[in-house]
Every structure is written in structure tokens, then in C-alpha cells.
């Protein structure tokens, strides 16, 4: 494992352990695909994001932008300051930096998306909501 992907792998493992132990409202798993040091001072992180039927991610934001593509399932995104967004396979989506949201799987199968985050180097992927 490269030094670039090691912190992301540790983060993903911690997220999965919290979700399995029930100590976190974040039931989503993120499987790292790659991390690229680009653009300068930032990292572009690609993951497979998955959410079990009936589960929600918990209210959160990202310290950078997120762009994703839904591969499987259905979900609703609840925002603090705009209408709900309904997602299904084949739909792209984007979240602005700091945009608070909660994704809930409304379907009967696992929700799965390929997500890309562009965040300042050294910042976490997820900022928990209050």
C-alpha cells in the first residue's frame, strides 16, 4: 500500500468498525479506490460508497466538493437548506463544499455509488453534523 492511500485505508476501516459496532450514526461504508495528490495542495479521493436498505448516513458535510454517480439502488438526500433530492441508478449528483446532508437508502437493495472528493490535503472526508 502506498503512503498516499494508507491514511485513507485507515479512515475507511475506522468508519466500517464504527458502523458495525453501532457507535456511529454513519452506517455508510466507503471502499477506497485511489487517492491522487491533485490539484496542488489538494487530494482527489475516489471511493465506492455503499448504504444498506433502510440505513442513513447521518447528517454530515464534506470539507471539499463531492461528485458521484449512482450505480445501484435508490435513496433520498435530505438537505438543511433545500428540497430533498431523490436518487436512483444512473443518476449523477454533486454536493458543494460544506453542504450539510443526510442520505437514506429508500430501496430494497444496497445503495451503491462511485464518489470523488476534492479536499485540501490533510483534511478528513467527512465532517459530522450537529
- Please report, for the chain, the start and end positions of each structural domain, with discontinuous segments joined by +: 6-124
| CA torsion angle 96 99 102 104 (round to 10) | -20
Question: What is the chain's pLDDT, residue by residue, as a tens digit (130 residues)?
Answer: 555 544 444 343 333 333 333 333 457 899 999 999 999 999 999 999 999 999 999 999 999 999 999 999 999 999 998 999 999 999 999 999 999 999 999 999 999 999 999 999 999 999 998 6
User: What is the second-level CATH architecture of the domain 6-124?
Assistant: Sandwich (2.60)
| Distance, CA of 58 to CA of 67 (rounded, Å) | 19
Residues 6+ apart with CB under 8 A from 45: 8, 32, 34, 35, 116, 117, 118, 119, 125
Amino acid at each position: 500500500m502506498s503512503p498516499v492511500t494508507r491514511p485513507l485505508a485507515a479512515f475507511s476501516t475506522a468508519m466500517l468498525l464504527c458502523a458495525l459496532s453501532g457507535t456511529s450514526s454513519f452506517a455508510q461504508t466507503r471502499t477506497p479506490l485511489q487517492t491522487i495528490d491533485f490539484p496542488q495542495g489538494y487530494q482527489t479521493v475516489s471511493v465506492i460508497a455503499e448504504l444498506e436498505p433502510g440505513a442513513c448516513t447521518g447528517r454530515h458535510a464534506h470539507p471539499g466538493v463531492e461528485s458521484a454517480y449512482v450505480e445501484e439502488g435508490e435513496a433520498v438526500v435530505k438537505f438543511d437548506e433545500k428540497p430533498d433530492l431523490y436518487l436512483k441508478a444512473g443518476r449523477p449528483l454533486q454536493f458543494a463544499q460544506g453542504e450539510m446532508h443526510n442520505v437514506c437508502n429508500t430501496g430494497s437493495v444496497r445503495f451503491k455509488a462511485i464518489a470523488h472528493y476534492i479536499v485540501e490535503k490533510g483534511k478528513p472526508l467527512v465532517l459530522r453534523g450537529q
